Amino acid sequence: MQATAHLQIDDLEAYVHNRLDSASAAGIQSHVRQCPPCGEKLATLLIAQLTALSESERNGIRERRIGERNQKGEAGCLQTLSPLSFEQSDIHVLDVSKDGFAVLTPAALKPGAIVHVRAGAGNLLGEVRYCRNTDDGKFRAGIQFRTARKLPVTGAHHGS
């Protein structure tokens, strides 16, 4: 079996900042599915980018209203960053508190997973605290707000 070269950090950063054409982005996704070290580097960069975005919002007025911006029933999407997955799931926000929020998702989430949630005007980074089956075949997950400083990358997903 031939060894595969690792991706350059410049290429991973270009992916994180959406500076690649769709073919190049697809190539990076394909590579990291097969290369756990590159997947871990990409997950770390994605978490750092999301944290920087969150911190810049936090310095502005709108971050102080996080509970008001995300209302019960609001639709959004969720992506798991650690373990890394490129799949995005549609979610609905069930409730929001100062420490986190609950969502309804079509697939189970593993407690401890690091997720990126986009809902309303918010880009949120969080850790899944629990996930329970609902009566209608969906899953209710509790997600605690986090920053990258509090989150070690636990390893790349091996084949999303």
- The pTM for the full model equals 0.72
Greater model confidence, 147 or 160: 147
pLDDT of 120 reads 74
**CA distance to 5, 15, 32, 103, 147, per residue, from 74 (Å):** 43, 28, 32, 9, 23
Q: What is the pLDDT of residue 35?
A: 93
Question: CB atoms < 10 A from the CB of 105, how many?
Answer: 22
Q: Which residue has the higher pLDDT, 88 or 57?
A: 88
Overall average pLDDT of the 136-142 stretch? 94
> What is the C-alpha separation between 33 and 28, in angstroms, rounded?
9
Residue 51 is classified by DSSP as H
CB atoms within 10 A of CB 114: 26
| pLDDT tens profile 4-60 | 699 999 999 999 888 999 999 999 999 999 999 999 999 988 888 887 776 665 555
> Cα separations (Å) of 68 from 96, 97, 120, 126, 130?
8, 10, 10, 18, 23
Q: What are phi and psi of 66, to 5 degrees?
A: -55, -40
pLDDT tens column, 95-112: 888 888 899 999 999 999
The confidence score (pLDDT) of residue 123 equals 78
Contact 100, 126 (CB under 8 A): yes
